[in-house]
Structures are given as structure tokens and as C-alpha cells.
Amino acid sequence: MRRRNDISARAVDRRDRKGAGIPFSKAMKGLLIAVIALLTGLQIYDPSKRFIEAVVGLIIVGIVWNFSGIQAIWFILLTYPFPFGFSWGNSTFFFVLVVFVIYLVHVSTGRYRFHGDRRMNVPIAVMVAAYIISFYNQAGGKMIMDFALLHTGNFLVILILYYLLVNLIDDEKNLRKTVGYLMVSTWLITFFSFLELLFPGRVILPNLIYSTHKISLIMKDIRVTGPFRDYELLAEFFAMNVPIIILMIVRSQRFITRFMYIFLLMGVLFMQFATITRGAFISLIIGIVYMAWICRKDLNIVRITGLAGAFIILIVIIDAIMTKYTMSGSLFKRLLATTVERGFIPDTRVEAWTGAANRWLLHPFIGNGPGWDMTYSFEHKYWPHSAYLYYLNIFGVFGTAAFLLLLYRLVRASMPELRQSLVTAPFPRALMKTLNVSLAILIVDMIKVDYQRNPIYMYFIWIFFALISATRMIIDKQESD
């Protein structure tokens, strides 16, 4: 009886999705095809860039409308690292807005219900208010104001994506599939970075896969930047994904699936070394030690010793391969050459952190506004190189306190239960353990790198925040049932 009810429920769901599509009669479809054919012919004869963009936009709207909401989100998860530009923005910005508008239409018809994560709503609302208030102190010309408006607009669209994820990842099945799509996205980013390492200074696909490295007779110590065009953020991305990949390895039931995730883990570690980034590597080591502690139920002294030994041997081999057989360099050599000043500040951060702190003190409470003259700030050594200093600069103590509150609530939401096993616990609880480790890696790494400077990478950070919120809400729902 229960099986018959499940089949009936699935049939109703399929009928609802089918009915959600754009209704066209056969005559309308024929007329539409004729119009499209005519316009296509005109564009072949006399192409117009804006018209082609508009047609592509309409086609995408039609496709997204006929997708379910979660399918549209999965599409964004696969494509956000590789946006293509429009005259008024990029493709990810456009996709998120289209999906959101269609989602609101479905909300108005009663098909979906909109809600937020009550734990995160207040700090997010204060951060939005802090962005708006900070414009009071915004100085500079048109270029700086344009940067401020673009950065703020990008942040608001990223928040829309956050709430779409929180709403649409509403059960364990969707959660599993979402993590699967994120792993596919990690595969694509790893492959992209591998191509950059193999073919530095070359264009493989125009405007999509290319290297920003300058071609010279001798190329060495290349730092791979990946689709984010930023080696520090790429390294952080890989470090944060390592705990999740480990979870997928230990939870995989089929040999081929486990082998593919092990292969992905090797690729991620290789590419992280190819960035030659110290901070992300140190953050990863801290995260792995923390993960071993919270997962000690699954380990014993023999396993810990074996895994630690294998990991040390592996990273030594990776560093040797990177140094000898690729155009990258040695991460260990750079680590050993590191010096610190004033007791704890790396030598490469002293001028940046000092300059950023002095700039923050100009308007300590509501900040200097989200606009930057990026060239000037790098030349005069006051670009923050720290997510916390970045927020202090743009919206002062007011907005930074909201961000710290957000991090605190994310930590509380993802706090692991030590008795739960990664292998045998329900998937949401096991995933939450690894998300807590990834969050710890992020919190440490943000001390020396600012994710806010990159309009592509910002999507990943807030996708990650949304995954924590959605997972916690699913766990709470399972406990209440």
C-alpha cells in the first residue's frame, strides 16, 4: 500500500512539473519556429550582438522554466566557475536572477514556499545594511564608484543564490545529489587547473580556457590560478574540498566510485601544490588534524599512524614531482623561506596588513565603502590580504561584527557530534562533520586572503555557507519526524 502511495506521489510530482512548463499550442509552436528561422536568417546577414544576447537569454529562460528549481540550481553549480561575459554582467549573475524570478512566480502559485535559515537571517540582514550605509563614506571617481556598485550588486545576487539553495535543498535525496554536482564541479576545476599547468601561456579555448602567465624562454615557479584567476583562492578551494572528498571516499559503496574519488583527491592535492600557496596548505594541515580528532571514533592508533605516515610520504612525493617534472615550484621550499615579523605576521603581509589597518581607522565604525582603486591599493601596499581586514575596510566594525556573528552561527550549526561515525551515520550528519572541518579551514585561511576580491570565487563561499544551512535544516527536520 505504501509503495502504491509512493508511486502515486511521484506521478503527481511529474504531472506538476509538466504543467509548470510554458504552454504552447501546435499553431503557436509553428509560428514561433517560423519567426525564429526568419530572425536567424537576418542575423546571419547582419548580426547584432545585443540581439543575439537577448535571444540566448530568452532561450535560457524557457529552458530554466521547464526545469525544476533544484535542477536549475545544479546547472548553476556546474557553470559558476566558468562564466562568460555580457555587456552588463556575466552568465552566473544572469542565471541566478532568472532562476530567482521563476522561483518567485512558482511561490506565488503555491508550488513552492519561501523561507530562510533563522540562524543566519539577522547577520545577513545586518551585512546588507552595512553595505548600504558604507556608501556614506565612499570616495573616489566614477571608476571606484562603479567597482562599489558592481561589488555590492554581485553580493546581493550571491545572497539570492544562498536563499535559493536553502529553499530547494529540502531533503536528503536533494542534498546527496547537490554534493554530487559540487564534486563534478571540483572535477572540472581540477581539470582546468591541470591544463593550465601543462600549457602555461597558451590559449586552449578562447575566452574560456587560457593561461594568464607570460610566455618566456624559461618558465619556472608558475603558480596555477585555475578558473578563478587567483592562486591563493584556488588553493583555498582545494583545501576546503579535501574533507568532503574524504567523506565521499569512505561512504562509497562501489569500487569504481571510490577509485574515482581517490583519483580526484590526488588531483586536488597535486593542484594545490601547483599553486605554491603556504597559507592554504597550513590551513589544510590544521583541518586534517582537527578532522582526525573529531573522527576518532572511526580511528585507532594504528590507523592514525598509518594514515599520517602515508600522507607525509604522499605530500613529499607530490612536492618532488612538482619541482622536478613540471613548470611549477616547491611549496616546501617556499615554506622554509618564510620569515615572520612582530612575532606572528608573515613577511609578505606586514606592509599590506599595516596599510589596511591604517585605512580602516579612517572610518572605523561604518567603513570606507565597497569601492576600491585596485591598482593604486596594490601599488601603495594597503590591499588587505585578509577577509577580516577587507570587511573592516569596507563597512567597519558594524558590518564585520555581523560577518563574525554569521561565522559563529555557522560553526554552531555545523558543530559535530563526536559519537557519530563518518561511515555509519546518516548522510546529513556525516556530511555536517566534514563541512565543519572545511569551515575551520576557511576561518583560518581567511586570516591571510580575502575571498571578497574575486567575483567568481565569492559564489563558492556562499554556496558552502548555504550547504551548511540546508544540511542543518534537514537534520532538524529528520529529528522532528
Sign (positive or negative) of CA dihedral 357, 360, 365, 371: negative
The CA distance from 313 to 317, in Å, is 6
CB atoms under 10 Å from CB of 59, counted, come to 11
The residues that bridge with 203 in the sheet, in sequence order, are 210
Determine the angle formed by the axes of helices 172-198 and 457-480, rounding to 10 degrees.
Answer: 160
DSSP 379: H
Residues 6+ apart with CB under 8 A from 370: 131, 134, 135, 138, 147, 148, 151, 152, 394, 395
Cell numbers representing residue 17 in the block: 512539473
Q: How many residues does the chain have?
A: 481
Contact 221, 276 (CB under 8 A): yes
Radius of gyration of the chain (CA): 24
SS3 226: helix
Question: pLDDT value at position 20?
Answer: 46
Sign (positive or negative) of CA dihedral 207, 210, 212, 217: negative
The CA distance from 403 to 412, in Å, is 14
Question: pLDDT value at position 441?
Answer: 97
Could you read off the pLDDT of 56-87 as tens digits, one per residue? 555 565 655 566 778 889 989 998 998 876 65
Q: Which residues of the chain have pLDDT under 70?
A: 1-67, 85-89, 201-220, 342-343, 374-381
Sign (positive or negative) of CA dihedral 261, 264, 270, 276: negative
Question: pLDDT value at position 59?
Answer: 58
Strands (DSSP E) along 269-361, which ranges? 340-341, 345-346
- Can you list the alpha helix ranges (DSSP code H) found in 46-171? 49-66, 69-79, 91-108, 118-134, 142-168
The CA distance from 429 to 472, in Å, is 8
CB atoms under 10 Å from CB of 324, counted, come to 8
Sign (positive or negative) of CA dihedral 121, 124, 129, 130: positive
The CA distance from 174 to 170, in Å, is 7
Contact 399, 130 (CB under 8 A): yes
Contact 335, 99 (CB under 8 A): no
pTM given for the model: 0.85
Question: pLDDT value at position 217?
Answer: 44
Question: pLDDT value at position 414?
Answer: 92
Cα distances (angstroms) measured from residue 63 to each of 51, 79, 128, 167, 409: 19, 15, 31, 21, 37
Question: pLDDT value at position 72?
Answer: 86
The residues that bridge with 325 in the sheet, in sequence order, are none
All structural domains of the chain with their residue ranges: 31-114, 119-480
Q: How far apart are the first and last CA of the chain?
A: 21
